[in-house]
Structures are given as structure tokens and as C-alpha cells.
Structure 1
Amino acid sequence: MELLRNISQQPTNSNRMYEPNQPGSCELRRKRTEDHGHAPAEMSKIITDPATGKCYCRGKVLGKGGFAKCYEMTDLSTSKVYAAKIIPHTRVSKPHQREKIDREIELHRVLHHKHIVHFYHHFEDKDNIYILLEYCSRRSLAHILKARKVLTEPEVRYYLRQIVSGLKYLHEQEILHRDLKLGNFFVSESMELKVGDFGLAAKLEPAGNRRKTICGTPNYLSPEVLNKQGHGCESDVWALGCVMYTMLLGRPPFETTNLKETYRCIREARYSLPSSLSPQAKQLISSLLAKAPEDRPHLDHILRHDFFSQGFVPERLPASCCHSAPEFHVSSPAKSFFKKAAAALFGGKRDKVKYYETLNKLTKEEEEIYKLRHDLKKTVISQQQQSKQMTEDGRPPSPSAGRPVALATEGLPPTTRDTIRLIVRGSLGSCSSSSECLEDSTTGSVAETITSVLRGCLENMPKDDIPNGTECSNLQWVTKWVDYSNKYGFGYQLSDHIVGVLFNNGTHMSLLADKKTVHYYAELGQCSVFSTSDVPEHFVGQVTVLKYFAHYMEENLMDGGDLVSQPDTHMPRLYLLQWLKSDRALMMLFNDGTFQVNFYHDHTKIILCTQREEYMLTYINEERVSTTFRLSSLLTSGCPADLRQRMEYSLNMLLQRCN
């Protein structure tokens, strides 16, 4: 918020915060309007909204700005705490000043996004204008950086991912922020980031009619803004590059002791990239700070950059990150090089673990482990063969193979009747024993069956009604996953705590919930069972990787939903046949026909499986709350629009797999 301007400036090279009277420390066109007469009367502690009669108690000052102060303010009737921006009428007495406040209110009040500071209410009395906003108890990233000096790369990924989410929403509403900086990124009690302060925000205009006024914070201005070429979404992307640079290095990229020189550096896009930064961080900063606006990446592409796809991104940060570096250390029960690699890969305090110092000390083998990575830019398919089971006459088998079921399907086309029978009956018609499940023909057959089931459901169910949920007994599904397919394979943890790895050579290993028993499935289906205390010599390497994945997921990843399963200490019922990734989701196909799709950005999931010979579809929403539907119910009652969209996307992924 604007009122946090003077406390939210970025640290200089000496790691001190800008003082308000320093050159370049306050926003252009936000000049201080100090009163030169008598000091204003003391503001009342109890403030009443004249329109509603609600009373609020004014608390401590949270920040100050050119026009206003921000206070903690409590609704006395509900005890809800707000951040209240209070603007004296004397500060906005001129028409253009009042118009500016009204425009900020008008833009902000309609915004609703989890990474945007929420606007609750505004009112005014004879002395002041009051704007009640979401209270963020951890203050801002500027405060965190002031205490920390620099942030680790995993933290920067965590914060940037949320900033990009909020900024993408703003741009979709055709709103430019025009003042992105650390002081305008607020942090909630649960360490969620919220973009705030819309005092300089403006509606996006057509290219030929864009605003050409110079406004913002000097260190974050883009070349086109300085050159009065107009504001576009690209200017916000430039500021994002400045923010990333500042978080990693503790100073803005174009900071100098002279404002004129700072502007010269910005116009020339001239800045330094220290060797302490990782290559991926350098590449992303360089693209964000491209001199020409058209050369900067679109927001949709930023999160697909190697900086994110090849590095650890924590799901949550502890509150201790506000004042000290987090510990992302992951130790492995394997050889010592795993320990060194994990320590370097997942951080630790910067004075203890230096990214490149560690890399330079590793041997060639250790370096390979250290560089475990995956690529979200392209769709990646696991390295199993994708041949399809063929009948004697060369055609794929009918997906509706199974026992007949008496249904009211007269009058429907034969293909529709077969699909409905399949949906209601839940018959896979293949994969009769576990010894066949890793064979490529079975994989193709199971995938085609699921494709037919999903397509039939989507084509035949109504669009508007919403069915009732049902119970799903002991559903097994993937709660955590790790993609190290560049080197080893794909690892996952099931809801019953079994951990599996589908290796790049097509073999599969499962570590049971007792952490003592391993089941190994070879390419042609032979199953071997052995104890972790007595591993055959030729399996030692794979068991080491299996344990490494299990330990990493246990220590670093949180469960993806509220469904739990009873541990299976005997024969694993579920193990992975194939997986596929797109830029939006991860698809997993299992031996018993269970099909799961995880959507990255909102963490929603759908799981299709059979229970008591009937297909069931479970949907886990953004709050990790699950609802299960019978597919036969969906055929008659329809489903929510958001679930239908995800089912359609999942079908497209299956079709892509089959092509």
C-alpha cells in the first residue's frame, strides 16, 4: 500500500534502508504534502462508520505514505482485525488528489484473488477517508529482506510463484500495477504472499493510447517508462526482474549513488550478474530485464523456466524465514555423495552452503546426482514403450469387454450402450494378474479403457445438475511425487504410505509402508520380494534411489488432500504403469486401472478408479477437500463446471498418450 512507501524501500549496498529524503527513495508523482501550519488534531481511538454505525478501535501504526498512514484497526463487534488506510481530507483537498484516491478504491474493490490484498470496505467522516484492507501480520517482503539481507533460491521461487499468480490475475483484469517492489508484497500469518498498494495502478490502454507519464519507484522503472513510450504489461514484468534480483542479492540491479546514473543504467539495461547466482537464475533475470519490452517473457512462460522446473520449490515456508534462513537440508540414507548433493540442492544457510562452492567440490558422479532435474516446458512421457495391444485382425480390442449388465440402454447407438455398460460395471477387461501389468500391451489396453470411460461420461452426462457425493472405501491415490526422470525415474507416495519408483528402464520398485519390504517388478512381469536388510547385490543401486525418494518426500512434501488409506503390508495392489506431464498437469496410470491427474497451479486432482465393480471419480479441490461421485450418477445428474473442465483436460492428456 502507498502508506507503506517510506518503510518499504529496498536496501542499499550497505544493507541499510533508504531514508525518505534520499534521492530516488520515494515515488515520482507521489510528493509529500506536508502541512506547514499547525499539527493536526489527535485522531480518535474509536472510529465510527457514519453509514453503518459500526465502531472500530484504531491500533498501532503499520506504515506511512505521502497521503496517509496505515493503522491496525479492529471491528469492535466481531474482533476482526484490518489494515486501515486512513487519509485526512486535508491531504486530498485538490480535485486531482481526490480523483486519485477514488480511482484506487474503484480498481481495488473489485479484485478477488488469494494473492491480492483483499479490499473489505471504505467509508469517510468529516475528517478522514478510511479504507479497510486485509491484515498481513508478517508485514512485507521489504521487512523480511531488511532482516535477512538476502534470500535463498527456494524462497525466491516460492515468493515469485505467488507474485506471478497475483500479477497474472491483474493483467487478465486489464489492470497494470505500475509499482511492483518488495514493499508492496505483503505476507500473511500463514506466509502467503499478497500483492498490494494500488495507488499507482491503472487500466491497460491500447498500444497507441498508453499512459506516458513517468511514475513508480526509480530503481524499478522500465526503459520504456523512462523514455515515455507508455506503460504495458511488459513494464510490470521488468519490475518483477528487479524484484527477483533484489531478493537474491540484497540490492536493486540498477542502484547507484546518483539518480541520473541509475536512469542511464536502466535505459541501457546495464547491470551486473554476480557469479554467486545459479545459471538458471541468471537466465531468468536476463530475460525479465530485456531492454526491448517484446523480448520479455509472458507471465505464463515464467513459471516454466528452468529456474523453477530444475530447482526445489517449497510448498510452505516456516514463519522463521522472516528473520533467519530456512533449513531445506535433505539427508539420504545412501552414500555420502547423496548427502552432499542434497545439501547443495536444497539449500541451508548461505554462510554454510554455497551453491557453486559445493558444485565445484563434487566429483563427476556426484555432479550428476546434484543436477537432478526435470523439464516442465515440454510434455514428457516416461520411457516405457507405448505399443498397443492388438487383436488377431490387427485392431485394438474392444474397451467394453467384460460381463454383460442389464441396463436400460435400448434405443441408444451400440457404441454408447457399450460405454455406459463399461462405466457402470467398472470392468477393465485386461490386467488379469500383476505379472502382466508392466507389459506394454497391458499399459495400452488400460489407457484405452480409461479413455473410453471418460469420453463416454463426458459425451452423455448433462451439464447443469450437481450429483450427491458418496463414500469411497480405502481409495489408494498418489499424495506426493518426484520427477527425477533425467537420471533415474519417477517416484511417488501412495495414500497408504507405500512408495514406488518407475525407473527409466521400465522396471518398478515398491517400498511397503513397513519400510522393510521391497517388491520389484521387471520389464516382463517377474516379481521379486526381498527385505531392505538383505538386498540382492544387483538391486542395491535402485533400492538406494528408492529410499532416497522416500526420505525426500517424507521430509519435504506435504500430502495433497484429505483422503487416507489403510497401510498394506502385504502385496501392493497399486503400482505405476505410465505417467505423462503437460505444462498444466501430471497424469498417472496404474496397473489396476486407477487414473489420477494432478493440476499444478491450484493443486486440484481427479482420481478415477473402480470400487465394488463400479467406476468412482474423486475430485480434490484447492482446499484439499475431496468429494467422490459414482460415474453412473454423473451420467444422470451431471457435475460441477470446474470438474467437467478437468475431466475434459484429462481426456485430452489420455488421447495425447495414445497418439
Structure 2
Amino acid sequence: PLGARSSGGRGGAGGVPGGRGCCTATSAPPGTPLSPSGHGEKAPGAPGEGTFGRCYQVTEVTSGRLYAAKVIPRARLAAAGTGDRVERELELQRRLRHRHIVRLHGHFTDRGHLCLLLELCSRGSLAGVLRARGRLTEPEVRFYLRQLLSGLRYLHGLGLVHRDLKLSNFLLTERMRVKIADLGLARRAAPPGRRWGALCGTPSHLAPEVLERRGHAGPADIWALGCALYTALTGHAPFEARHRQELYRRIRSARYPLPPQLSPGARALIALMLHPDPAARPSPAGLLSHPFLTQGFTPRTLPPCACHSVPIFVGQEPLCRILRGLWGCGCVPTPPQST
């Protein structure tokens, strides 16, 4: 489906070594189909289906490097707004270099498709983790949130607003680092005296000022990230309703239940991020100094098993990593192999 040819034009294979004819679609292991988010959640029997096209795992022939390929039919690019969104994603993401933002390595075209070559995040999305787990522990949330705020601080520092922050756009690498993905709705913040009044993003994560067409600036990203934080800790969104208008009414009221299992620090952080006044919401840098992130236990790493089960920690290390080390030095008998 990729055509395996670089456009050779503007952008071309953009930084992907090998140039023309450098990539082939693989199957799982060679050829693992990807999820709609485009990074590693397996869709049985078919490539991942996204909003604009399909996603594949591809291999660069000359080096063996793996990428995520978002393949978009040209016919869809002609649809109203779709071409502009993809062009915006290309223009913005090709310039971004941050360890917690999914990197665009290049793009190429054939007669019928545009292909974006993206950094492969093989562990899937935090939305997938939540589906498997139900909810996350506070140490895990601190681990992920610090990284996401670092990436968001970088974007806001460049004058960019993401406009669609949610768990399905937070992707995990092989080493369990989280990265912000999908800049299709991102744009530069409005200059002083102007505001972008478009209603875009995920309905349940829209800030009150966005619903009131007062502009989508940095504080609206903080609100959306607060919704994602709440969802990760509780297993459900702070604002839910069967009908869109009722959902928007609840968002405007800024009232949501706080489950008793949340710590005081988590409650305080959520209250700041979901403050109805955008001016009262802290910046990413301000949030990084919040007591929830500075005073609670945060692991240095997370094991891959955290994608489907609750990790157990001893000190700063996951228990499974400690046991592997003990098994390796002979201090603990190696567990029997299953037959």
C-alpha cells in the first residue's frame, strides 16, 4: 500500500535515510497493523483505520529501522478541511524536536496516496492502557504527566496550541516513555487582540471558553490535559452525557464528581487544571512545580507489564526489574519455565 517510492519533491523522504524506494510495509512481526492512533496497538486482520487513512508499521530497507506510516488516500485530501489539516500537521511537525513529541521523519507520495513517516511508539496509547487496566495509580500518572507537561511546555514555548490533547494521543515507546501525537488540529496561538473561535477538538475535553467561542489558547490545552488526568486516575471522563448539549452544559458548570480514592494532591491539581476561568489555570511550567508532582513517589521507569497490569515497586524500581537482576546473579532461583 505504500508504493515504496519517495516523492523526491519538497520535503521528500525528509530525513529518512535511503531516499527513493527506502521503505517497505511489514507484517507482524513484519507487518504489524497499527491502531487508528498509528502507533503499535494491533488491529486484528486489517491495518489500523484512522480518521483520514490507514496506519502501518514499515521498515526502512537499508537500515532496518521501524517507522509508523500514516497512509492517506489523495481522494480524502480533497475533502473539505482534510487537506488543510494534513498540510498543517506536516508543516508544524517537521520542525518539532522534543523527546516527548512524536517525531515526523519525512513523507512521500505515490499516485494515489500521501504517506507520513512517523516515529514508531510500539506500546500503544494511554487510552489502550486504560482499557486494559481500568485506571492508573498515582505514581504512574506522575511518571507520565511530568513527561507530557515537558512536551506541552515546549509546544507552548513555540507559540503552538495542540487543541486535541487526550489519552489516545499520548503514545508509549518501547521503553515506556510517553509522547504527544497528532498535531492535525494544532495551530499557532492567536496574536494579541485576536482569537481563534473555531470549535474543534474532542467534545468531552473542550474548555468552557472554547464552547463560548472565546478562543482556543494555551489554557484550553491545560483543561484538556486535566480531563485526561482525571480519566486516567478514575477510569472515566469528568464530564459525560448521552447528548451533546447536556455534555456542554455540564462542562460550562465545571462541576464533576471527585472519587474518594483520590489523594488531596490529585484533587487540588485537577481543580487547578479544570478551573472555569482560563486565567486561573497554571502554565505547564507552573504545573510541574505542583506538590502532586514534586512530593509524591514517582518511579524512574515503568515496566512494559504496566500496559496491562498494576506494577509493584520496591524503592524506585519496578519489582519485576529487581527480580530479573536477582535471577541474573543467582541470588534467587530462576522461576521454572512453563511447559
- Conserved 8 A contact 2:67-2:118: yes
Distance 2:20 2:225 in 1: 42
Distance 1:56 1:284 in 2: 44
Query: Residue 182 of structure 1 corresponds to which residue in structure 2?
Result: 167
Evaluate the alpha carbon distance shift between residue 276 and residue 173 of structure 1 in structure 2; reply closer, same or farther with a 3 A threshold. Answer: same
- Conserved 8 A contact 1:54-1:77: no
Distance 2:272 2:101 in 1: 25
Query: Residue 151 of structure 2 corresponds to which residue in structure 1?
Result: 166
Distance 1:188 1:553 in 2: 20
- Conserved 8 A contact 2:300-2:316: no
Query: Residue 51 of structure 2 corresponds to which residue in structure 1?
Result: 66
TM-superposed CA distance for 1:146, in Å, is 0.5
- Conserved 8 A contact 2:22-2:60: yes
TM-superposed CA distance for 1:205, in Å, is 1.2
Distance 1:554 1:138 in 2: 20
1:116 to 2:101 alignment: yes
Residues 419-464 of structure 1: per-residue CA shift (max 9 Å, x gap): xxxxxxxxxxxxxxxxxxxxxxxxxxxxxxxxxxxxxxxxxxxxxx
Secondary structure of 1:47 counterpart: coil
Structure 2 residue identity aligned to 1:211: W
Distance 1:302 1:191 in 2: 22
Evaluate the alpha carbon distance shift between residue 240 and residue 555 of structure 1 in structure 2; reply closer, same or farther with a 3 A threshold. Answer: closer
Query: Residue 211 of structure 1 corresponds to which residue in structure 2?
Result: 196
Query: Residue 192 of structure 1 corresponds to which residue in structure 2?
Result: 177
Partner residue of 1:133 out of 112, 118, 124: 118
Distance 2:318 2:7 in 1: 53
Secondary structure of 2:231 counterpart: helix
Distance 1:85 1:133 in 2: 8
Distance 2:33 2:275 in 1: 39
| Count of residues in correspondence between the two structures | 292
Structure 2 residue identity aligned to 1:48: R
1:294 to 2:250 alignment: no
Query: Residue 142 of structure 1 corresponds to which residue in structure 2?
Result: 127
Structure 2, unpaired ranges of 5+: 9-18, 26-30, 37-48, 322-339
Evaluate the alpha carbon distance shift between residue 184 and residue 554 of structure 1 in structure 2; reply closer, same or farther with a 3 A threshold. Answer: closer
Query: Residue 102 of structure 1 corresponds to which residue in structure 2?
Result: 87
1:56 to 2:56 alignment: no
Distance 2:188 2:154 in 1: 13
- Conserved 8 A contact 1:109-1:119: yes
Distance 2:318 2:145 in 1: 23
1:78 to 2:45 alignment: no
Evaluate the alpha carbon distance shift between residue 170 and residue 555 of structure 1 in structure 2; reply closer, same or farther with a 3 A threshold. Answer: closer
Structure 2 residue identity aligned to 1:246: T
Evaluate the alpha carbon distance shift between residue 256 and residue 140 of structure 1 in structure 2; reply closer, same or farther with a 3 A threshold. Answer: same
Secondary structure of 2:4 counterpart: strand
Structure 1 residue identity aligned to 2:23: Y
Query: Residue 239 of structure 1 corresponds to which residue in structure 2?
Result: 224
TM-superposed CA distance for 1:259, in Å, is 2.0
| Bigger Rg, structure 1 or 2 | 1
Secondary structure of 1:121 counterpart: strand
Q: Which structure carries more strand by proportion?
A: 1
- Conserved 8 A contact 2:5-2:109: no
Structure 1 residue identity aligned to 2:309: S
Structure 1, unpaired ranges of 5+: 1-42, 331-551, 559-659
Structure 1 residue identity aligned to 2:307: C
Query: Residue 518 of structure 1 corresponds to which residue in structure 2?
Result: none
Evaluate the alpha carbon distance shift between residue 207 and residue 290 of structure 1 in structure 2; reply closer, same or farther with a 3 A threshold. Answer: farther
Structure 1 residue identity aligned to 2:33: V
TM-superposed CA distance for 1:180, in Å, is 0.2
Partner residue of 1:225 out of 207, 210, 234: 210
1:306 to 2:305 alignment: no
Distance 2:241 2:168 in 1: 19
- Conserved 8 A contact 1:254-1:262: yes
Secondary structure of 1:61 counterpart: coil
- Conserved 8 A contact 2:299-2:316: no
Secondary structure of 1:241 counterpart: helix
Query: Residue 245 of structure 2 corresponds to which residue in structure 1?
Result: 260
Secondary structure of 1:146 counterpart: helix
Superposition CA RMSD, Å: 1.8
Query: Residue 47 of structure 1 corresponds to which residue in structure 2?
Result: 4
Query: Residue 631 of structure 1 corresponds to which residue in structure 2?
Result: none
- Conserved 8 A contact 1:117-1:194: yes
Residues 203-239 of structure 1: per-residue CA shift (max 9 Å, x gap): 1112431210100001100001111000110000001
- Conserved 8 A contact 1:212-1:229: yes
Residues 309-335 of structure 1: per-residue CA shift (max 9 Å, x gap): 22101111011100000102x4xxxxx
Evaluate the alpha carbon distance shift between residue 271 and residue 111 of structure 1 in structure 2; reply closer, same or farther with a 3 A threshold. Answer: same
Structure 2 residue identity aligned to 1:47: A
Structure 2 residue identity aligned to 1:233: G
Evaluate the alpha carbon distance shift between residue 555 and residue 251 of structure 1 in structure 2; reply closer, same or farther with a 3 A threshold. Answer: closer
Evaluate the alpha carbon distance shift between residue 196 and residue 553 of structure 1 in structure 2; reply closer, same or farther with a 3 A threshold. Answer: closer
Evaluate the alpha carbon distance shift between residue 553 and residue 205 of structure 1 in structure 2; reply closer, same or farther with a 3 A threshold. Answer: closer
In the TM superposition, what are the counterparts of 1:577-656 in structure 2 within 5 Å? none
Structure 2 residue identity aligned to 1:205: A
Distance 1:66 1:191 in 2: 26
TM-superposed CA distance for 1:307, in Å, is 0.9
Distance 1:313 1:301 in 2: 18
Secondary structure of 2:236 counterpart: coil
Evaluate the alpha carbon distance shift between residue 162 and residue 553 of structure 1 in structure 2; reply closer, same or farther with a 3 A threshold. Answer: closer
Distance 1:50 1:303 in 2: 42
Distance 1:229 1:87 in 2: 33
Distance 1:140 1:553 in 2: 24
- Conserved 8 A contact 1:114-1:166: yes
TM-superposed CA distance for 1:304, in Å, is 1.5
Taking structure 1 as the reference length, the TM-score comes to 0.43
Evaluate the alpha carbon distance shift between residue 264 and residue 149 of structure 1 in structure 2; reply closer, same or farther with a 3 A threshold. Answer: same
- Conserved 8 A contact 1:61-1:71: yes
In the TM superposition, what are the counterparts of 1:515-534 in structure 2 within 5 Å? none
1:153 to 2:110 alignment: no
Structure 1 residue identity aligned to 2:61: L
